[in-house]
Amino acid sequence: MGRGTWSWIVPDGLWEIAKPLIPPSRVRPQGGGTQDTPDETLFAAIIYVLVSGCAWRQLPPCFGISKSTAHRRFLIWSRAGLWGRLHEAVLHRLDDAGLIDVTRVVLDTAHVRAKKGANTQVRAPWTGASRVPGCTYCRTRTGCPSSSASRPATPTTAKG
């Protein structure tokens, strides 16, 4: 693909690395349907969306595929773990060529699995302003509804 139709979006050699990693398309058991889009074209369209940052609905018509086809195949390949395996394969090739220096490595915690029930949501402590009456003068008045002195004693607040 590097010197082929999609060389303007897919770097040289990336298609050769990705091709054996792409899961085979499923054949419809009932037959029929439309002709399957070549994986090379789908790969180029997906790379275009990922690199450019455009929305799937803005996929240029030059790829000749619909946005839903590209997105669906992206999801299928993502669930199959293609992108992680592709990343590892590229890193291995770069390492074999001596192009990677691993003396400094950064770990992104977004890629580390959370353990021991860490997936539950934890509320952040409230750091905003506390609830206060709208007027500081009302604190000393017994007739103000926001004043604590004006509230009648109830069984739960009465001291005794």
pLDDT in tens, 6-15: 777 888 789 8
pLDDT the model gives residue 107:
73
Residue, of 34 and 36, whose pLDDT is higher? 36
Tell me what percent of the residues of the chain surpass a pLDDT of 90. 31
Query: Mean of the pLDDT values across residues 10-30?
Result: 85
Query: Mean of the pLDDT values across residues 28-41?
Result: 78
In the structure, what pLDDT confidence band is assigned to residue 45 with cuts at 50, 70 and 90?
very high
For the range 72-75, what are the long-range contacts, defined as Cβ-Cβ under 8 Å and sequence gap of 24 or more? 73/37, 73/42, 73/46, 74/46, 74/49
Sequence-ordered alpha helix ranges (H) in 29-129: 39-52, 67-79, 82-96
pLDDT in tens, 86-108: 999 999 999 899 888 878 877 76
- Rounded to two decimals, the pTM is 0.60
Q: Give, in degrees to the nearest 5, the angle at Cα 120 between 119 and 121.
A: 115
Can you tell me the distance from the alpha carbon of 76 to that of 23, in angstroms, rounded to the nearest whole number? 9
Query: Mean of the pLDDT values across residues 43-58?
Result: 92
Give the highest mean pLDDT range of 56-60, 129-133, 142-146. Answer: 56-60
Residues in contact with 81: Cβ distance below 8 Å, sequence separation at least 6, in sequence order: none
Query: Mean of the pLDDT values across residues 58-74?
Result: 92
Q: Is pLDDT of 155 > 80? A: no
